[in-house]
Amino acid sequence: MLLPATNDHVADSLTMMQQGKKIDPLLMIRGRMSHGVRAQIADGYHRACAAWYIDQNTDIPFQMATLKGNKVASRSPKPNADTGDQPSMG
């Protein structure tokens, strides 16, 4: 279900995007198609909705995480903005 453009979080993200500011990436949880489990947005759904209002084909930055049991086993970490180093997973 698409959140309305009047939603506070969607409206804030829309404003940022229209001003050309970078938005935080979505956090995606990897699905498992062989088991009929789709990928899901764990954080940032409002940013995905805002992007849709701008253009349905807008590229949206995201990070992918894999769940093993109830814990995140792996993800695509962002490099440190100051040094370019990858953050520690431990």
* Of 55, 52, 36, nearest in space to 44 by CA: 52
Full-model pTM: 0.70
For residue 42, which phi and psi values (nearest 5 degrees)? -90, -30
What are the pLDDT digits (tens) for 21-72? 999 999 999 988 888 889 999 999 999 999 999 999 988 999 999 877 666 6
Does the domain at 8-75 match CATH 2.60.40? Answer given as: no
- Write the DSSP assignment of 15-84 as a string of letters: HHHHTT---PPEEEE--BGGGTBPPEEEE-HHHHHHHHHH-TT----EEEEEEETTEEEEE-PPPPTTT-
* Residue 71 pLDDT: 64
